[in-house]
A and B are shown apart, each in its own frame.
Chain A
Amino acid sequence: MKTEADLLPLSPQAARAVGRLRPARKIGRQIFVFLAPFVLYGLFLLYNGVNPWELYVSMVRSAFGDWFGFGETLIKATPILLTGLAAALPARAGLINVGGEGQLAIGALLATMAAVWLLDAVPAAAGIPLMLFAGALGGALWAGVTALLKVAGRMNETIASLLLNYVAVFLVGYFVHGPLKDPHSFNWPFSPEIARQLRLPVFDGTRLHIGFLLAIAFAVLVWLVLAKTGTGFRIRVLGGNRIAAERAGIRVSLIYAGVLLAAGALAGIAGMIEIAGIEGRLRPTTGATYGYLGFLAAWMAWNHPLRLLLTSFLLGMIAVAGNELEIGSGLPSSSVHMLMALVLFFLMGGARGRKA
């Protein structure tokens, strides 16, 4: 096992010493942690015949260069922000919700059902809020299954919510291939298009819809609840020390169920926004991977709702770059997932010893 010994460069003492490095070196290390994944991914791109420098330049330029590109980034960041909140809020209570993926899917499903079956002729002023409610309800229902398994069944919520993601995807598949299939779709698996007036208003010159304002409002709301209310205090106490919370008479099960339901509702709203803001109809792949991206964004933000604004924007930027990569150089857009994973790996590696 000699090779493994080589991989253990630092003893615990040395690790602590690194923590006390002089500020200059600390900053240097942070820059390294930030740049290293881009360099590594750049090498990978070079190997595949893509000029990484051009990609990174165009990534920044498209994100900040004009309103359209900025809008595209915000469009991608919106669902990531909401599913990020869906991971961050339970995390503050000590729960790990990886079910954003499924909660988003079921939210999108219920929102589409409501829009197609009930709200076809309802004006926007009532229709959009109702559709939003349906989405939130769908997400909360799905998270409710996790909550039930956690609170009543004492099951580990990480595994339960992960497994439910797969169930949710098949459930959406059942509906778009069956009861919710567009009769004019020539057998393609998607739902009918939702009514024109139910689409979210769009900013001129971009595809950006007002959903992102909603997402930001929710981020601020979650922050306010966590930081300024009694409920938020109880959530944080529970997350900090479960035993202490129990001794202090905090109703643990109630808070667990509450944060999971709220998280599900947030992810469900992300699903509704995807339908009403972007896609207009439900497909089997609507919102795919946003749930996981949200979890990663939340992790990068140390589960802080306002820092999450920043990290979801960053991941949104990388996601847009993925589309460009696909159009411009024929690499599959999934290859940027590698870049995201690398960014996270280095962050995790760099944040040594912080609440392991």
Chain B
Amino acid sequence: MIADILTGALRSGTSVMLASQGELISERAGVINLGTEGCMLAGALGGFATTVWTGNPWLGALAGGLCGMLLSLIHACLVLDRGANQLASGLTLMFFGIGVTAFLGRSFVSEQIVGFNPAPIPVLSDIPVLGEVLFNHDPLTYLSMLLVPALWFVLFRTRIGIILRAAGEREEVLFACGVNPRLVRYAAVLAGGFLAGIGGAQLSVAYTHSWVENMTAGRGVVAVAMVIFAAWRPFRAMLGAYLFGAAQALQLTVQQQGLPISPYFLFMAPYVLTLAALLIVERRKRSSVPEGLSRVFAADADG
């Protein structure tokens, strides 16, 4: 049963994890994107539609990423060029994503696809418990696991990472180095949208193999929350996302066991858990907020 929950945690947490890694990049550069939810939805639909048309889930994942990126471009333009309020713009983007995908996705609701299927890794997947939990997933999940250490390396061990973090902390430093911080932020927001889109595609192409209106159900919001929970660190964000996934998996397990708990309380559990996780870290001293980002939160809510 524990192994079931852990496997489920990875399976249903991967979409949130991908989105949270993307959001982490964006927030490290000083832009918070609440529209991650919309980007995920766009990715879920774009990925699903492309898989239906081409039959190739890899193309689907790529298209999903591009759809997410396209949506995040709106956010980037408004926030970086027009000085719009980041939170308001992100929320509008979320709303836009829900509306657009509900409309364009009508004809895909009953479609069926083959999509990604679990591909056990030879030898490794034969390890008891661990093999089942870690090495019996769809290819996107493996890639997402590799992404986390890669992202950590880029962020904290390379020049690109330093430039990215400088954009979120002190843009003056970048000006002094002859780098345009706005370009860096653009790239970060777009990368964030791309990953959120792939996360959405993972949901529709690899996890559920279907498209349902508003299928992300707040996973994008959870992804944003998880970045804060993770204190802007990739590995912790991964942990948080899998925690959310575990709460989702618990739902299925409890239902299978036939325990007398209303499913609605189980549906709530992942969100309550996310709130609880946030509460625990927010009580600590918050020195890890990128400076540029803390200005967004501290700025008055007037606009």
Contacts and interface: CB of A to CB of B under 8 A. Distances in A.
Is the A/B pair a real complex? yes
Contact of B301 (A10, A90, A167, A331): A90
Interface of B is mostly: helix
B19 interface: no
B211 to A, nearest CB: 14
A355 B279 contact: no
Interface string A162-194: 111111001101100110000000000000000
Interface stretch (B51-59, B76-84, B117-125, B154-162): B76-84
Contacts of B272: 167
A95 B83 contact: no
Interface in B71-112: 73-74, 77-85, 87-89, 91-93, 95-96, 98-100, 102-103, 106
B243 interface: no
A129 interface: no
Given A149-B275, A341-B96, A354-B303, A7 B264 contact: no
Interface string A341-356: 1101100111111111
B175 interface: no
Contacts of A94: 300-301
Given A171-B268, A178-B262, A351 B84 contact: yes
Most chain B CB neighbours (cut-off 10 Å) among A94, A342, A356: A356
Interface stretch (A110-118, A201-209, A265-273, A294-302): A294-302
Interface in B263-303: 264-265, 267-268, 271-272, 274-275, 278-279, 282-283, 286, 297-303
Interface in A126-163: 149, 153-156, 158-160, 162-163
Nearest to B267: A170
B228 A334 contact: no
Give the interface residue-count category, chain B: 35 or more
A123 interface: no
Contacts of B236: none
B259 interface: no
A171 B190 CA distance: 36
A223 to B, nearest CB: 16
B150 to A, nearest CB: 21
Given A160-B278, A173-B267, A332-B102, A355 B302 contact: yes
Contacts of B221: 159, 162-163, 166
Contacts of A7: 73, 77, 81, 186
A313 interface: no
A96 B78 contact: no
A7 to B, nearest CB: 6
B222 interface: yes
Contacts of A92: 301-302
A303 interface: yes
Contacts of A299: 85, 88, 303
Given A241-B300, A332-B106, 16 more contacts: A1-B187, A91-B302, A159-B224, A159-B225, A160-B275, A164-B271, A170-B264, A171-B268, A242-B298, A337-B95, A337-B96, A337-B99, A338-B96, A338-B100, A351-B82, A356-B85
10 contacts: A8-B183, A91-B301, A96-B87, A162-B218, A162-B221, A303-B302, A341-B92, A341-B99, A344-B88, A352-B83
Interface of A: 1, 4-5, 7-10, 15, 90-92, 94-96, 98, 149, 153-156, 158-160, 162-167, 170-171, 173-174, 177-178, 239-242, 292, 295-296, 299, 302-303, 331-332, 334-338, 340-342, 344-345, 348-356
Interface of B: 34, 73-74, 77-85, 87-89, 91-93, 95-96, 98-100, 102-103, 106, 182-183, 186-187, 190, 213, 217-218, 221-222, 224-225, 228, 262, 264-265, 267-268, 271-272, 274-275, 278-279, 282-283, 286, 297-303
